[in-house]
Chain A
Amino acid sequence: MDPTALQAIAANNDWVTIFPELLLGCVALVLLALEIVLPVKYHSYLPGVALFGVLAIIPSQIISLRPGFLLEGDTFNGLLHQSHDSQVMRVFFLVTAVLVCLLGTVSLAKQRMPHTEFYHIVLVVTAALMLLAQSNHFVMLFVALETVTIGFYILVSYFRTSPLSLEAGLKYLILGALSSSILLFGIVLLYGAAGNLMRPGHTGSPMNFDELAGFLAANPHNFLAGVGIVLVLSGVAFKIGAFPFQIWVPDVYQGAPTPVTAFLAVGSKAAGFVILLTLVRTFSAYAWLTLPILTLMAAATLLFGNLAALTQHNVKRLIGLSGVSHAGFLLLGVIAAATVPMAFGAVYFYLFAYLIASFAVFGVMAHVAGPNDADQEISHYAGLARERPFLALVLAIGLGSLAGIPPLAGFMGKLFVFIGVFESGHYGLLAVAVVSMVISIYYYFSWIRAAFFETWTPPANAEAVSPRPALTPVTVPLFVMLGLLAACTILLGFYQGPLGDWLAAR
């Protein structure tokens, strides 16, 4: 190869752009080293080290969003593509990591488990999520996605003394690996189709999204590429828990430790949607194929998620199935984004509102849960408002936002998505969405009702119903976190601030 070309490739490896990911990886390694070096009595400071590491990266990442500092364009020879969206999503994943670490301090304290590895894996997975948000090449996408998924296999089965956690881990492993294989086979077919020398517009680098989009535009009805696109979309649909790939959601959400359930619900789902937005843009020449699939998937996901959640008694299964219906709302945004650019912003805003509200709810769940993490019934919340008014208030605000009650942030998120869907003219989908939103209010409010209007009575036959675990006291960092999340949920409903400006700028 020509040496100047190699030099150009080397100069394109702009390591500064992935500095946050490198730093996260370093903090993760430092944690493991500190665990070996420090005496056991100092080990309680290790979560603090992880938190401090992530919190230190967030300001630099937010500064890089300012106009003068924003990095845009391809780096690493087209493997990564930095844009304003990917920078915002990197902040999103960093915030998720902070919240997961904070929840980890509550849930892990109830188990006799090694703690440090949990934070290590959370940081590594976060770094991979951030790379995923910038990936512009199928190799990058696959490797980052697998780093995330394999990290999640470990996290889901982290409570390894609990058979339920291990069972959830195994189910996630089998179905996760299945979906990754389907995604991979789709990538192979796209690679083969776009590199075919007999076709017009064939390319030497068919796994690069820009090059692939060029090929697809030149061959809008290639059979092999069509099959590849369907397989890739199926693989991604599994990650976001969209119908008919949602079967793993309730079991895995129930068995996983609560902080991991939160990480799965928010981090993994957001990653899926970031990929989906990129891929739908890449596959825009095949909109005749992708849009009908996504439309059917969105309608089925919305209805299934909400109807299945109606009958749940376990709050983790309930939040999992409600997460399926949220994936349906987000899919609506993705479909609208194919024609209405404003819907891109709506999807991102929805993700932020979902992040804040979900972690408020998961924060309360972590405090109500007992030593058996999989056993969290709605009946355990009876009388919460009297015993812990603060937790009950945060729960009500979080659930209200998830249900989309005005004027909370979740309502604004749904409103923006609905405006996008209306402008793109999918009226049928809009009707399905409104109906499922009404259904969802029922199960969210039965949970709020348990917390506010019911008192805990010991059941007559104590064998049949699991006893209610003692509430965990709220520590200062968790108090600040839950208070901030609740305040943000209310505030974002009234004033969207810079996030709203960014939304409107499209």
Chain B
Amino acid sequence: MITATLNEYIILSVVLFAIGFFGVLLRKNTLVIFMSLELMLVASTLGLVAFSRYNHTLDGNVFVFFIFTVAAAEVAVGLAIIVALFRKRHTIQVDELNALKN
């Protein structure tokens, strides 16, 4: 049986988080940015579960349920805003959404 160590889980979690973070900063499509945001949350959940398993505390596992709930609420509101904005502006590319200026 292959068992991963805590460090491997944490490195994976950090890598996933970094992919999500740079995805948010660099991608231009709002939906891809949104996916990257979810990836960051999932990376945090992986870290929580791994720490919870290796530190023998249950808090982390319980926290994951709260994070899932929050992420679901965020997606519900976020997609609603994106759809409403697409109806008005017919684009979801962030560099074209620049009507707010001085």
Question: Which A residues are closer than 8 A to B by beta carbons?
Answer: 138-139, 142-143, 146, 150, 153-154, 157, 160-161, 163-164, 166-171, 173-174, 177-178, 180-182, 184-185, 187-189, 191-192, 195-197, 202, 204-207, 250-251, 254-255, 311-314, 317, 374
Contacts and interface: CB of A to CB of B under 8 A. Distances in A.
B48 A188 contact: yes
Nearest to A146: B70
A184 B10 contact: no
Contact of B55 (A139, A180, A187, A196): A196
Contacts of B82: 170
B47 A150 contact: no
Given A157-B81, A170-B82, A254 B67 contact: no
A207 B81 CA distance: 33
A150 B73 contact: yes
A173 B77 contact: yes
Most buried by A among B21, B34, B44, B97: B44
B100 A374 contact: yes
Contacts of A204: 57
Nearest to A175: B24
A137 to B, nearest CB: 9
Contacts of B81: 153, 157, 166, 169-170, 173
B63 A139 contact: yes
Contact of B85 (A167, A184, A185, A196): A167
B40 A185 contact: yes
Given A157-B81, A192-B10, A254-B100, 15 more contacts: A138-B63, A139-B59, A142-B67, A153-B74, A167-B97, A169-B81, A181-B21, A184-B67, A185-B43, A189-B47, A196-B55, A204-B57, A205-B57, A206-B57, A317-B102
Contacts of B67: 142, 184
B100 A164 contact: yes
B62 interface: yes
A312 B70 contact: no
Contact of A255 (B33, B59, B70, B100): B100
A204 B51 CA distance: 12
Nearest 10 Cβ contacts at the A-B interface = A195-B55, A192-B51, A181-B40, A188-B47, A251-B100, A163-B88, A166-B85, A146-B70, A184-B44, A177-B37
A163 B85 contact: yes
7 contacts: A139-B59, A143-B66, A170-B85, A174-B33, A178-B40, A191-B51, A197-B55
